[in-house]
């Protein structure tokens, strides 16, 4: 890996975005991250992914220098589609992906963070979509995810003014789960990741599918799907183990089967 560093401990893979100075997202970065996700999905020793940025930023945005090499509409469209595909891959990923955001998550950086399932932010972090400042628009599904998280009017304000919000405001607006002092950020996110990693991989995978079903399916179809997955999880080894452990008043030992 050229742009990411990976370490794994206690069923949590810590993925560090390392492309100084701004951790900018280029097409090469997007492709590498997609490949990394494939590897982590197939690693049974990884149940949760914690994503954070090295240096001053989570990610300050897309690679503007790469923009200068794009001369045709089709090239720009393909870049946007690549970014959208990777962000959707994160959101659909069967293992929880937690973003620990410090410094700045701007433009493509915020779009990357919004693809993750959970966002823990530093109180003084800056989150925004400033593309209109460049005469552009968000292209990695940012217009759609931001609207889904904060609502039409606040999304419009953030995009039209190009002004970022703080980590504290991100929590207030529904864009992030929790804001903490920056010096506590990584440990806070890691503690959450470890807590989730102790759950059954089968039940976690099922809830990821159902959370995404709430986005894409009509209610009556989604609840039918919930019932089907409930049945599958119920008869799994982990399902039996969890119920038995509760009865015996002991910690469950989930094996992902």
Catalytic residue ranges: 111, 131
Alpha-carbon distance 209 to 93, whole Å? 9
Among 91, 79, 185, 169, CA closest to 128: 169
Alpha-carbon distance 32 to 20, whole Å? 16
Helices assigned H by DSSP within 4-151: 27-41, 64-67, 73-91, 108-115, 142-150
CB of 115 closer than 8 Å to CB of 93: no
CB of 203 closer than 8 Å to CB of 233: yes
Q: Is residue 121 classed exposed, middle or buried when 0-12, 13-18 and 19+ CB atoms within 10 A define those classes?
A: buried
Rounded to 5°, angle at Cα 105 from 54 and 164: 145
Quote the tokens at residue 123: 């109180």
Q: Tokens 């790469």 appear where? A: 66
H-run or E-run covering 233: helix 219-234
Among 134, 133, 132, 156, CA closest to 144: 156
Q: List, in sequence order, every residue forming a beta bridge with 12; answer none if it has no partner.
A: 9, 48
């Amino acid at each position: 890996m050229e742009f990411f560093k990976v370490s794994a401990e206690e069923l949590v893979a810590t993925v560090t975005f390392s492309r100084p100075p701004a951790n900018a997202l280029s097409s090469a970065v997007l492709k590498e991250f997609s490949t990394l996700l494939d590897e982590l999905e197939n690693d049974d020793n990884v149940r949760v992914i914690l994503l954070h940025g090295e240096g001053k930023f989570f990610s300050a945005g897309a690679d503007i220098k790469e923009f200068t090499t794009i001369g045709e509409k089709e090239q720009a469209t393909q870049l946007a589609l690549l970014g959208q595909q990777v962000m959707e891959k994160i959101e659909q990923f069967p293992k929880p992906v937690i973003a620990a955001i410090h410094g700045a998550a701007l433009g493509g950086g915020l779009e990357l963070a919004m693809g993750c399932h959970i966002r823990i932010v530093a109180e003084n972090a800056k989150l925004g979509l400033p593309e209109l400042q460049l005469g552009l628009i968000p292209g990695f599904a940012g217009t759609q995810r931001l609207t889904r998280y904060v609502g039409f009017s606040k999304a419009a304000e953030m995009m039209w003014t190009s002004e970022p919000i703080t980590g504290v405001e991100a929590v207030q607006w529904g864009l992030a789960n929790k804001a903490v002092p920056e010096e506590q950020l990584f440990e806070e996110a890691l503690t959450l990741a470890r807590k989730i990693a102790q759950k059954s991989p089968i039940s976690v995978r099922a809830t990821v599918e159902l959370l995404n079903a709430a986005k894409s399916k009509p209610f009556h179809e989604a609840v039918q799907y919930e019932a089907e997955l409930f049945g599958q999880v119920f008869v799994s080894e982990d399902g039996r183990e969890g119920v038995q452990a509760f009865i015996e008043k002991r910690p469950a030992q989930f094996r992902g089967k």
